[in-house]
Amino acid sequence: MHRTLRRTLRLTRLGLHLALGIALVRLAYPLLRSRQRAAVRARWCRQLLATLGVRLQVAGTAPSHPVLVAANHVSWLDIFAIGAALPCTFVSKHEARSWPVFGWLAAHNETLFLRRDSARAAHALNRHVAARLAGRESVAIFPEGTTSDGSQVLPFNAALFQSAVDAACRVLPVAVQYYDHRARCTTAAAYVGDDPLWKSLRAVLDAPSIHVHLFLGDCLQGAGVSRRELAARARETVVRLHSPASVYERVLTGCAGVVRWGGKRAVKRLPAPSSLSISSAAWWRASACFTIARPSPVPPVSRERLRSTR
């Protein structure tokens, strides 16, 4: 498909989907309970990703109890990917509140906004996050404090982990990675530095296809540890999940299934492949990926990438 035509079609669909989001917030949210709003929000996020040509894959087990989700940060798309996979609200930078439409929708979807240059604001925010965790509501943070191009995991800021310590809540480390339609790491979705939002949006609209993968780690206990120790352990887990070796391990121990809303999921264990001579497509069919929403073909991982992890 010609790039200009693809961009036009996706932009038109995005505009209609954003209008639907505004209508849902205005008309449906006042009539729905918190759990129902969360379900509507997750479905809307899945549909937004599909509108932009982004395919979501999740590897790991989503917890049924409230958690503080700690993920590396690559793009504004991270919010919709995590929101589609996990029922949670978000902590976002204060500047995002001024984004056209997106900022308004975030503010009306219980997003907490943080002024990153204010220690007092961080302290107050921790109280709000701890209260939500204590009220059995999961909250997602991006402890790097900024975005990267996705090639590495930046140091984690320990400040926001205090809420997990105060609420004695578990922390779920999540690694976010983006691939193109040829299964190569891509920076098309990256939103780095002071680049305007429209520039990142245009790169996403122009991409033939983007695949975002969420790797869910094992939950870390927040009780009885310091926030610095908790942040360090969370980052270690995200770095491990982010590495190519982690993809290889998940292929070898793979399981596949469809994640369903409400904590219910159908999981089918698959036999581990015996050698690297198996086709790339077969490797991905055996990978530990849960397809969110409508199952879709997954791009093959190159044999060179798999060999490099041995």
- pLDDT tens digit sequence for 26-54: 999 999 998 899 999 999 999 999 999 99
- pLDDT, residue 244, reads 64
Domain ranges for the chain: 3-239
- 140 vs 162: CA distance, rounded Å: 14
3-state secondary structure the chain: CCHHHHHHHHHHHHHHHHHHHHHHHHHHHHHCCHHHHHHHHHHHHHHHHHHCCEEEEEECCCCCCCEEEEECCCCCHHHHHHHHHCCEEEEEEHHHHHCCCHHHHHHCCCCEEECCCCHHHHHHHHHHHHHHHHCCCEEEECCCCCCCCCCCCCCCCCHHHHHHHHCCCEEEEEEEEEEECCCCECCCCCCCCCCCHHHHHHHHHHCCCEEEEEEECCCECCCCCCHHHHHHHHHHHHHHHHCHHHHHHHHHCCEEEEECHHHCEEEEECCCCCCCCCCHHHHHHCCCCEEECCCCCCCCCCHHHHHCCC
pLDDT score recorded for residue 162: 93
Question: Consecutive sets of 10 residues in the chain, 310 residues long: mean pLDDT of each?
Answer: 85 95 95 91 95 92 92 95 94 87 92 83 89 94 90 91 94 94 86 81 91 94 91 95 63 39 37 32 35 38 44
Token pair listed for 131 = 């209260």
The backbone torsions φ and ψ at residue 183, rounded to the nearest 5 degrees and listed phi first, read: 70, 25
User: How many C-beta neighbours within 10 Å does residue 202 have?
Assistant: 13
Q: Which residues contact 55 (CB under 8 A, 6 or more apart)?
A: 49, 209, 210, 211, 212, 296, 298
Show the tokens assigned to 38.
């969360």
Tens digits of residue pLDDT in 127-158: 999 999 999 999 999 999 889 888 889 999 99
Please answer whether residues 280 and 302 qualify as being in contact, where contact means their C-beta atoms are separated by less than 8 angstroms.
yes
Look at residue 73 in the predicted model and tell me its pLDDT. 94
Q: Are 182 and 299 in contact (CB under 8 A)?
A: yes
39-52 core/surface letters (b: 16 or more CB in 10 A; e: else)? ebbbebbbbbbbbb
263 vs 233: CA distance, rounded Å: 26
Centre a 10 Å sphere on the Cβ of residue 145 and count the other Cβ atoms it contains.
16
CA-CA distance, 50 to 13, in Å (whole number)? 10
Q: What is the pLDDT of residue 262?
A: 37
Token pair in block for residue 89:
């609200």
pLDDT value of position 245: 55
